[in-house]
């Protein structure tokens, strides 16, 4: 395998784990029962994606189908999420509901990068303006520089995730909640990038 391709895949894997951890932090902090196990798969119906966005933005997204039964309903959910983000001034240029539905990792990482920037700006409104660069372009740039080598960079950790869906709720075990939440509460109180 080409060294550059290997490095790109390693960086994407690291970023996938980091954003999974970041999203689970906010979901757990707000008391959500469902956490992400696989970022590339778990946001493709738009339901968990909407929950994450609502927690981060502290505002409800209208017209989310909690139990989408077909691809069209899933894409409508993702479109509602993207439209909500665009209305908030979050740069979603280069992102499409179709790509996210298909599990396109670059698009999903771009979306989570834009979302994390938005959250960072909420916490520090005077420090950074919204990026005008497309989210997918930023992910491409990040993937070409080895994130793992940054001094003081947070290392991803696996967060226990629950397999339940909104359509089939099952309460999480108290062991899972107590183990995941304390480690995450102080972990993401600083900017990701």
Structure-token pair, residue 124: 């520090």
Q: What is the pLDDT of residues 35-78, one digit of tens each?
A: 999 999 999 999 999 999 999 999 999 999 999 999 999 999 99
Tokens, residue 32: 């959500």
For CA atoms 95, 24, 69, 85, the dihedral sign is negative
Global pTM exceeds 0.75: no
User: pLDDT of 77-133, one tens digit each?
Assistant: 999 999 999 999 999 999 999 999 999 999 999 999 999 999 998 887 555 455 555
pLDDT at site 177: 40
Of 19-33, 120-134, 172-186, the poorest mean pLDDT is in 172-186
Residue 165 pLDDT > 70: no
Highest mean pLDDT among 8-12, 58-62, 131-135, 166-170: 58-62
d(CA 184, CA 192): 14
Q: Which residues contact 36 (CB under 8 A, 6 or more apart)?
A: 20, 23, 24, 27, 42, 43, 48, 52, 159, 161
Domains in the chain (CATH in brackets) are 2-123 (1.10.418.10)
């Amino acid at each position: 395998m080409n060294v550059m391709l290997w490095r790109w895949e390693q960086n994407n894997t690291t970023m996938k784990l980091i954003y999974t951890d970041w999203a689970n932090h906010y979901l757990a902090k707000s008391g959500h029962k469902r956490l992400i196990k696989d970022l590339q798969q778990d946001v493709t119906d738009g339901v968990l994606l909407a929950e994450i966005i609502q927690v981060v933005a502290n505002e409800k997204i209208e017209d989310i189908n909690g139990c989408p039964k077909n691809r069209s309903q899933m894409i409508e959910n993702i479109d509602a999420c993207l439209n909500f983000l665009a209305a908030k001034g979050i740069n979603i240029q280069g992102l499409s509901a179709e790509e996210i539905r298909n599990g396109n990792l670059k698009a999903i990482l771009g979306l989570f990068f834009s979302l994390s920037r938005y959250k960072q700006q909420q916490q520090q409104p005077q420090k950074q303006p919204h990026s005008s660069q497309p989210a997918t372009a930023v992910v491409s740039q990040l993937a070409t520089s080895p994130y793992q080598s940054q001094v003081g960079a947070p290392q991803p950790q696996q967060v226990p995730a629950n397999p339940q869906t909104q359509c089939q709720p099952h309460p999480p075990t108290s062991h899972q909640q107590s183990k995941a939440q304390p480690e995450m509460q102080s972990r993401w109180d600083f900017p990701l990038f």
